[in-house]
Amino acid sequence: MPTVESVTGDDVKPTFKESTRQHRIMSEGVRNVIIIGSGPAGYTAGLYTARAMLEPLMFAGYMSGGQLMLTSDVENFPGYPEGITGPEMMMQLRQQAERFGLEVHDKNVARVDFSERPFKVYVEGNEHLTHSVIISTGAEAIWLDAENEAEQKGRGISTCATCDGAFFKDEEVLVIGGGDSAMEEATFLTRFASKVTLLHRRDTWKASKVMLERARNNEKIEIRPFRQVKSWLSDDNGLTGALLEDPRDGSTEEIAATGAFIAIGHKPITAFLEGQVETDDHGYIVNKDFSMTSVEGVFAAGDVVDTRYRQAITAAGMGCMAAIDCERWLEENVH
């Protein structure tokens, strides 16, 4: 019989954390935690849960990295004095988490079943069991839904200047919106386009002062307030412009452009949850107990819960919080 004092060979006693971890992993194919989504929130949750030795599994989505993959320069994430591109930052966050054992699959989660534990996560027809889940699926771009928009998607109308801007070298393009996204897209597009017209439905701005001023000071950008796109104009070759309406009096005018970038905000990616987790009227997850959702053992972090801040740094912070809450919950509830 090994004694408590034995410290060699098979008799080495695992620490409390190690023994609970081993127990959980051994319980027939049930993961400790599955992370759904891979922006700054997901990767930070992955880093923390990996360092907590929970052997996390992440479903990163077919387009891993989230919205930062569509962002050019990130200048407001502390620690990068020269700035960094969104895709580079996502690659580094992923590498950092993988170094500690985060297992990442670039696949989409089709649906989940949180009705009983262990939870079920369905991916490409396979069922994955897990004691806990961290949802960090973020948000996606909202389209304008002006007349003729559906036909012109991908034929001149885009929601991602970083992805499609280079197609419009020396051409005239439109950007729609009055927030930081619109300012960023407009400024970025001046690298390619001969002229960028920024259209906003009113003359007050959600954009931060610094980004608005940068756009204002760019001689390639013309800012036109009180202009809404009523319909998109096109010919056989694609977009030719837009019919604009002044919301103050309903008057209209045409504007010529071969490209248009819609930057009017985002909506949370929560449809795959099929209502199993409480959300608000706009689909954002409502956390109940710190980062825990209405389902015990399911946590949420980042833009999928954040209706206010929506920054890479706040998403990363929330990912950290969800990971810590998740680890504590597992220790207390999964024996």
Q: Decide: is 86 part of the binding site for ligand NDP (CB under 6 A).
A: no
**Mask: binding to ligand NDP, 251-290, rule CB under 6 A, as x and -?**
------------xxxx------------------------
* Binding status of residue 227 toward ligand NDP by CB under 6 A: no
Residue 184 touches ligand NDP, criterion: CB under 6 A: yes
Under the phi-then-psi rule, with left for phi > 0, alpha for psi from -120 to 50, and beta for the rest, what region is 273?
A: alpha
Residue 165: what residue type?
Answer: G
Closest distance between ligand NDP and the C-beta of residue 184, in Å? Answer: 4
Which of residues 51, 201, 224, 267 is near ligand NDP by CB under 6 A? 201
What residues from 111 to 170 belong to the interface with ligand NDP (CB under 6 A)? 144
- Nearest residue to 116 (alpha-carbon basis) of 332, 314, 296, 312: 296
- Interaction of residue 206 with ligand NDP, rule CB under 6 A: yes
Q: How far is the CB of 224 from ligand NDP (least distance, A)?
A: 13
In the complex, least distance from residue 231 CB atom to ligand NDP, rounded to whole angstroms: 13
Q: Residue 333 corresponds to which amino acid?
A: N
For every residue of 23-78, DSSP letters joined together read HHHHSTTEEEEEEE--SHHHHHHHHHHHHTT---EEE--SSTTGGGGG-SEE--ST
Q: Mask of contacts with ligand NDP, 7-46, x by CB under 6 A? A: ----------------------------------------
Binding piece for ligand NDP, criterion CB under 6 A, among 54-62, 86-94, 158-166, 172-180? 172-180
Q: How far is the CB of 142 from ligand NDP (least distance, A)?
A: 7
Question: In the bound complex, what is the minimum distance in angstroms from residue 118's beta carbon to ligand NDP?
Answer: 35
Q: Does 178 bind ligand NDP (CB under 6 A)?
A: yes
The DSSP code for 123 is E
Residue among 83, 58, 144 at smallest CA distance from 312: 83
Chain centroid offset of residue 203 CA: 28
Residues 6+ apart with CB under 8 A from 8: none
Contact with ligand NDP (CB under 6 A): which of 24, 48, 50, 180? 180
Distance CA 213, CA 220 (A): 13
* Backbone dihedral angles phi then psi of residue 315, each to the nearest 5 degrees: -65, -45
Partnered with residue 70 across adjacent β-strands are: none
The phi-psi region of residue 105 (left if phi > 0; otherwise alpha if psi is between -120 and 50; otherwise beta) is beta
Which of 111, 202, 216, 328 binds ligand NDP (CB under 6 A)? It is 202
For the annotated catalytic residues, the residue numbers are 160, 163-164
Binding residues vs ligand NDP (CB under 6 A): 76, 144, 176-182, 184, 201-202, 206, 208, 228, 263-266, 310
